[in-house]
Amino acid sequence: PGSKLQVGFNRQVDAEVYLEKLKNNQLTEILNFEEVTAGDTYFIPAGRVHAIGKGILLAEIQQTSDITYRIYDYDRRDNEGNPRELHTDLALDAIDFTIFPEYKTKAVAKANESVELGKCPYFTTNVLDLTQVVD
């Protein structure tokens, strides 16, 4: 309870608005935050701004890569007390500013049946709820 996932934006913004909010330390005003509960599923494609909140365990399916663009860090510090590096210029080219009315997937698990959770050109993710013995 109380765990939040930041995913996408809460209103339509463009690069100019994004940079202005970033410059004025007001980025969280335009970010979308979703309260999550056990079993919730979100499909987050490349380019969608996101951050994983406290208390969330998740499975992140992605191409092998060590690239993460940190655009905001909630004033966190490194081991020496310095602000951690941000990658605002690099991220700007990668951010998808598309707004969506709903970020959470609506898949409902069905007993002994494969249900699609998310799909893109690179993979499909299904859940299989085995509640009975399958012959």
pLDDT in tens, 25-76: 999 999 999 999 988 899 888 889 999 999 998 888 877 777 788 888 878 8
Q: How far apart are CA 21 and CA 71, in angstroms?
A: 11
Set out the domains of the chain in order of their start, with CATH numbers.
4-104 (2.60.120.10), 108-135 (no CATH)
- Burial of 13: CB neighbours in 10 Å, binned 0-12, 13-18, 19+: middle
Q: What does pTM read for this prediction?
A: 0.81
Q: Average pLDDT in the 109-116 region?
A: 87
Q: Is 48 a catalytic residue?
A: no
Q: How far apart are CA 53 and CA 94, in angstroms?
A: 22
Three-class DSSP category at 85: coil
pLDDT tens-digit series, residues 79-96? 999 988 888 888 899 999
Which among 11, 48, 70, 76 is annotated as catalytic? 70
